């Protein structure tokens, strides 16, 4: 069958269900993105068929860093302790250039309980997600390569090659998480715009004999032969570098730079040396009718900042709850347009950030390098700028305030579209405590009534009862909680008064927390009416005014 040359053909048949025997979702690519998406859909009762071209999981992958936002997601799925047990905490980023230290960045200022990156090779992260998938009844169909996609009035028909034998499968939705050479992207006619990075990267794993600094840091050397050391468990390091030539000795290249700063250190027990080309590219759209792109199929960026895998994990976590609502008939398919509206700007932001880093790393003129180094020192000396930089590094800066499916007026505190913080403690009447964000329920939206110091607590109690009635009548909402600042409200949860100042709350505020932990609705008045509007927004869709892709 011919490749599809025009993505417009994928915008038909939006409201039709597949016939009996079809799967609800076909996912191509069983990396971290595809594994998490399949597991989250299976957990919600959505039938998936996950395929991967590889006959077995990869035994080594060059990606290393798991950022705090991804750790929050692993906490939400009940796997963060397992990941922490096999990873290495990266608490600081130490930056060097020209034989000198430019300073260190303490990642704990991000404010999360996960005030660090985690160093763990991607194949280990994949194994944890694969186990999570199996726990929910899913599995990976391996040695399966997508050959063709054909639109069908009831969905999409995929042709798949499995060990040189062909089979077809129908699916209501298709998600491509099949990487840089995505067959899903090509077959659906979606463009991939960007450029190849000018200079090749290389990587190897090693022990650094004679190392005297901390093993809980990322060490960045911005010299003429740039090197980045990222820690791994067992006092090992993953060494990223820009080789001096296509045929150069990678260890000698890295040792040339490291020797400037640690003359007695040397690389030993070398493993997994590899050279690779990198790209900055973003798909022109993340959805074409019934077809979606996620992970590396949708975006590529410089490996220097470690955002690639982490961004894909967030893609999956964003898309899963929306697909489940549409699959269950609780929301119109227009809701799925919000996936592109929310995630594509993030991909563009990360691609641009990677290009800025690439440009700065590749400077060769002494005057330009001096200006770069001075700018780095100034950044590290300005707390506000440094905090913003750390929030971007940890991916906690990401918000959906621009999204067409969030509701609420802008405010100085916790606004609609922002992530619920993970560092707020709730105290219950029996003196037990829990983190506020852990009240959020991944089976549906969680309603939280927060009553600040100026709230009328009698109104709070009545409103809480009314919201519980609303939640019982709608499958969109899973749990309802009422939490106050006032000590005399004995039957409700309580958080410290200072937290309400941080959140910008004085009276009674309603928050509707989405299954991905973001605030979908913030309402400081007329809460029941605002909730009805939000429910309509999610269930019926209202995206046309925001320029979202319609299917």
Tokens 């641009």 map to which residue? 352
Same structural domain for residues 235 and 287?
A: no
Q: What percent of the chain has pLDDT over 90?
A: 82
pLDDT value, residue 478: 86
Structure tokens that stand for 515 in this block: 């299954």
Same structural domain for residues 309 and 451?
A: no
What average pLDDT does the structure give for the chain?
A: 91
Same structural domain for residues 344 and 482?
A: no
pLDDT value, residue 488: 60
Q: Say if residues 551 and 333 touch (Cβ distance below 8 Å).
A: yes
Give just the sign of the alpha carbon dihedral 231, 235, 76, 68: negative
Q: Say if residues 182 and 149 touch (Cβ distance below 8 Å).
A: no
- How many CA atoms are closer than 13 Å to the CA of 411, on its beta-carbon side? 21
Range of the domain at 225: 65-120+198-277
CATH number of the domain encompassing residue 227: 3.30.9.10
CA distances from residue 467 to 442, 456, 511, 531 in whole angstroms, order as listed: 19, 17, 11, 9
Same structural domain for residues 35 and 159?
A: yes
Secondary structure (3-state) at 253: helix
Domain assignment present for residue 403? The answer is no
Q: Say if residues 239 and 204 touch (Cβ distance below 8 Å).
A: yes
CATH number of the domain encompassing residue 133: 3.50.50.60
Domain assignment present for residue 114? The answer is yes
Tokens 């290009």 map to which residue? 355
Region 211-228: what's the mean pLDDT? 97
Q: Say if residues 155 and 16 touch (Cβ distance below 8 Å).
A: yes
Distance CA 335, CA 314 (A): 17
Per-residue pLDDT tens digits for 508-551 = 999 999 999 999 999 999 999 999 999 999 998 754 433 333 23
> With 60 as the cut, is the pLDDT of residue 449 above it?
yes
In this predicted structure, which of 175-184, 283-292, 354-363, 491-500 has the lowest mean pLDDT? 491-500
Among 250, 277, 304, the domain-final residue is 277
> With 50 as the cut, is the pLDDT of residue 9 above it?
no
Q: Say if residues 513 and 448 touch (Cβ distance below 8 Å).
A: yes
Domain assignment present for residue 165? The answer is yes
Among 277, 296, 312, the domain-final residue is 277
> With 70 as the cut, is the pLDDT of residue 286 above it?
yes
Closest CA relative to residue 396, chosen from 122, 70, 78: 70
- What residues pair up with 170 in beta bridges, in sequence order? 157
Domain assignment present for residue 239? The answer is yes
Region for residue 350 given its phi and psi (left: phi exceeds 0; alpha: psi -120 to 50; beta: otherwise)? alpha
Same structural domain for residues 187 and 148?
A: yes
Same structural domain for residues 207 and 157?
A: no
Residue 460: phi and psi, rounded to 5, are -60, -45
> With 90 as the cut, is the pLDDT of residue 205 above it?
yes
Domain total in the chain: 3
Structure tokens that stand for 272 in this block: 């997994």
Closest CA relative to residue 396, chosen from 38, 109, 61: 109
> With 80 as the cut, is the pLDDT of residue 490 above it?
no
Same structural domain for residues 272 and 334?
A: no
Contacts of 367 (CB under 8 A, 6+ apart): none
Among 254, 277, 300, the domain-final residue is 277
Closest CA relative to residue 525, chosen from 459, 430, 440: 459
Closest CA relative to residue 232, chosen from 123, 394, 110, 106: 123
DSSP strand pairing (227-232 vs 217-221): antiparallel
Give just the sign of the alpha carbon dihedral 295, 296, 301, 305: positive
pLDDT value, residue 21: 53
Structure tokens that stand for 368 in this block: 């330009």
Same structural domain for residues 335 and 240?
A: no
Contacts of 9 (CB under 8 A, 6+ apart): 151, 189, 289
pLDDT value, residue 480: 87
In this predicted structure, which of 48-57, 213-222, 242-251, 459-468 has the lowest mean pLDDT? 459-468
CATH number of the domain encompassing residue 520: 3.40.30.120
Same structural domain for residues 158 and 74?
A: no
pLDDT value, residue 542: 58
pLDDT category, 487, cuts 50, 70, 90? low
pLDDT category, 280, cuts 50, 70, 90? very high
Distance CA 465, CA 224 (A): 65
Residue that wins the pLDDT comparison between 474 and 80: 80
pLDDT category, 489, cuts 50, 70, 90? low
Crossing angle for the helix pair 308-327 and 32-43, nearest 10 degrees? 30
> With 50 as the cut, is the pLDDT of residue 361 above it?
yes
Region 234-248: what's the mean pLDDT? 96
Region 408-433: what's the mean pLDDT? 92
Nearest-5° Cα angle at 299, 298 to 300: 145
Q: Say if residues 118 and 83 touch (Cβ distance below 8 Å).
A: yes
Same structural domain for residues 42 and 152?
A: yes
Structure tokens that stand for 420 in this block: 């619920």
Q: Say if residues 413 and 446 touch (Cβ distance below 8 Å).
A: no
Domain assignment present for residue 389? The answer is no
Same structural domain for residues 51 and 145?
A: yes
* Count of Cβ atoms closer than 10 Å to residue 123 Cβ: 15
Domain assignment present for residue 460? The answer is yes
> With 80 as the cut, is the pLDDT of residue 353 above it?
yes
pLDDT value, residue 473: 84
Domain assignment present for residue 411? The answer is no
What is the maximum alpha-carbon separation in the chain? 75
Same structural domain for residues 161 and 21?
A: yes
Domain assignment present for residue 400? The answer is no
Length of the chain: 551
Structure tokens that stand for 12 in this block: 């038909």
Structure tokens that stand for 251 in this block: 């260890």
């Amino acid at each position: 069958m011919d490749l599809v040359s025009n993505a417009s053909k994928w915008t038909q048949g939006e409201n039709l269900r597949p016939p009996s025997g079809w799967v609800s979702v076909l996912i191509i690519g069983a990396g971290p993105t595809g594994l998490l998406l399949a597991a989250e859909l299976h957990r919600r009762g959505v039938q998936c068929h996950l395929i991967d071209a590889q006959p077995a999981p990869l035994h080594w992958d060059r990606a290393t860093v798991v950022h705090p936002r991804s750790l929050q997601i692993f906490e939400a799925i009940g796997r963060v302790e397992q990941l922490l047990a096999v990873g290495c905490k990266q608490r600081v980023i130490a930056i060097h250039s020209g034989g000198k230290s430019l300073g260190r960045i303490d990642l704990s200022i991000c404010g999360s309980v996960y005030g660090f990156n985690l160093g763990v090779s991607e194949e280990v992260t994949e194994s944890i997600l694969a186990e999570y998938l199996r726990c929910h009844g899913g599995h990976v169909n391996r040695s399966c390569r997508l050959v063709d996609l054909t639109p069908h009035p009831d969905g999409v028909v995929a042709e798949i090659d499995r060990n040189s034998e062909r089979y077809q499968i129908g699916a209501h939705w298709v998600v491509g998480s099949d990487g840089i050479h995505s067959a899903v992207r090509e077959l659906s006619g979606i463009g991939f715009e960007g450029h190849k990075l000018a200079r090749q990267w290389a990587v190897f794993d090693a022990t650094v004999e004679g190392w005297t600094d901390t093993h809980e840091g990322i060490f960045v050397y911005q010299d003429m032969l740039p090197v980045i050391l990222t820690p791994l468990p067992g006092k090992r390091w993953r060494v990223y570098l820009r080789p001096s030539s296509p045929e150069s000795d990678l260890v000698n290249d890295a040792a040339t730079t490291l020797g400037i700063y640690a003359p007695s250190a040397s690389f030993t027990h070398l493993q997994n040396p590899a050279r690779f080309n990198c790209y900055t590219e973003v798909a022109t759209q993340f959805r074409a009718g019934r077809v979606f792109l996620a992970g590396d199929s949708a975006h590529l960026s410089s490996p220097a900042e470690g955002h690639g895998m982490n961004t894909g994990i967030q893609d999956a976590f964003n898309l899963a709850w929306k697909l489940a609502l549409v699959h269950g008939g609780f929301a119109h398919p227009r809701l799925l347009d919000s996936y592109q509206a929310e995630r594509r700007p993030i991909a563009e932001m990360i691609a641009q950030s990677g290009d800025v880093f690439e440009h700065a790393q590749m400077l060769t003129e002494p005057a330009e390098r001096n200006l770069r180094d001075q700018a780095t020192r100034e950044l590290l000396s300005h707390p506000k700028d440094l905090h913003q930089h750390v929030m971007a590094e940890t991916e906690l800066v990401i918000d959906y305030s621009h999204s067409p499916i969030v509701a609420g007026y802008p405010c100085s505190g916790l606004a609609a579209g922002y992530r619920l913080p993970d560092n707020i403690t709730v105290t219950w009447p029996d003196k037990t405590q829990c983190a506020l964000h852990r009240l959020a329920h991944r089976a549906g939206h969680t309603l939280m009534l927060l009553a600040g110091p100026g709230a009328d607590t009698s109104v709070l109690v009545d409103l809480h009862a009314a919201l519980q009635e609303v939640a019982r009548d709608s499958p969109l909402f899973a749990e309802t909680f009422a939490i106050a600042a006032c000590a005399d409200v004995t039957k409700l949860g309580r958080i410290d008064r200072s937290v309400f100042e941080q959140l910008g709350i004085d009276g009674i505020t309603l928050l509707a927390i989405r299954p991905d932990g973001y605030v979908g609705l913030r309402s400081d008045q007329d809460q029941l009416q605002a909730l009805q509007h939000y429910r309509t927004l999610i269930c019926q869709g209202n995206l046309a005014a925001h320029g979202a892709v319609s299917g």
